[in-house]
Amino acid sequence: MIKRPLKIGLTGGIGSGKTTISHIFQSLGIEVFNSDQYGKKAIEENKTVIKKIHQEFGEDIITNGHINKKNLSKIVFQDITKLRKLNNIIHPIVIQDFNKWYSKKTNHYIIKESALLFESKTFHNLDAIILIKAPVELRINRVYQRDNRSRSEILSIIKNQLKTKDIKEHTDYIINNNEKTLLTPKVIQLHKQLMNL
């Protein structure tokens, strides 16, 4: 028997539009677990996570007893080995948070939004995966306008993320979030499909 709610993963590279699309799903009444936000919360509040990050990355990333996320981000996005180490510290906590969150849900399906569905290996536990695609230049421009990040910083993040072509074969649905077509009708159409699963 299929276990409800269905777990639908939503992923895509930086600036592809995951959060924007999650908001559209939310406006349709679908609950969204934002993995990246839970990851940030773990860095800010979870004492075990803070201790492990401190041990792994040293004094440079601590400011007034807290993790300095900007410094940490600079380190990990220049070094994929360090990025993996950081993710290995954070992922188990986010998995626990998701399981707790999911256990209280009763809808037809829920969305698990994550930039790292594949890197965290959590895609195995999902019923279907949506990939958000957008041209790389458009993603860079969108992030450049949204964040206080330089173009080279955005490029190094993109370089360290999995490529769309490598993820594609594991995905069930693709949303093209380009400038040429309206986004909301595509999400509504996909929502209808998911409600019929």
The edge-to-edge listing of strands for the beta sheet with 32-34 is 32-34, 109-113, 6-11, 128-133, 173-176
- The C-alpha angle with vertex 11 and arms to 7 and 13, in degrees rounded to 5, equals 170
20 sits near ligand ATP (criterion: CB under 6 A): yes
Residue 17 binds to ligand ATP (criterion: CB under 6 A): yes
> What mask, x for binding ligand ATP by CB under 6 A, covers residues 84 to 123?
-------------------------------x--------
Does position 39 interact with ligand ATP (CB under 6 A)? The reply is no
Q: Which residue is nearest to ligand ATP (CB)?
A: 142
Closest to 167 measured CA to CA, from 91, 116, 125: 116
Least Å distance, CB 21 to ligand ATP, is 7
- Tokens at 80, concatenated: 């994929």
Region of 62-70, 89-97, 98-106, 142-150 interacting with ligand ATP (CB under 6 A):
142-150
Exactly one of 8, 10, 18, 149 binds ligand ATP (CB under 6 A); which one? 18
* # binding residues, ligand ATP (CB under 6 A): 15
User: Is position 175 an interface residue for ligand ATP (rule: CB under 6 A)?
Assistant: no
Decide if residue 183 touches ligand ATP (CB under 6 A): yes
Residues that bind ligand ATP (CB under 6 A): 12, 14-20, 36, 115, 142-143, 146, 177, 183
